[in-house]
Amino acid sequence: MKYLTRQLNENDIKPAMDLVWRVFSEFEAPEYLKEGVLGIEKFIDVDSMKERVRNNELILFGAFKTKIIGVILI
């Protein structure tokens, strides 16, 4: 399976965080307390994530096939 990996730009952040939220909600959230789920939701807020990227606090990478299929943040 071939796919493209690259650093994400601001336009990629919304679909990337949507993917992160869907995966978290399905596989991890059931094991978290309500406060933990809210903390994750707040952390991946699109506007605050864009701000962290602009300020070089985080670097995001994505894997793409026809759309984004994976995300990693450093």
Q: Is the sign of the CA dihedral 33, 39, 41, 44 positive or negative?
A: negative
Residue 1 and residue 38: Cα distance in Å, rounded? 35
Q: H helices within 1-74, ranges in order?
A: 10-27, 34-43, 46-54
Taking only the tens place, the pLDDT of each residue in 6-33 is: 999 999 999 999 999 999 999 999 999 9
Residue 2 and residue 63: Cα distance in Å, rounded? 10
Burial class of residue 13 (count of CB atoms within 10 Å of its CB; 0-12, 13-18, 19+): buried
Taking only the tens place, the pLDDT of each residue in 33-48 is: 999 999 999 999 999 9
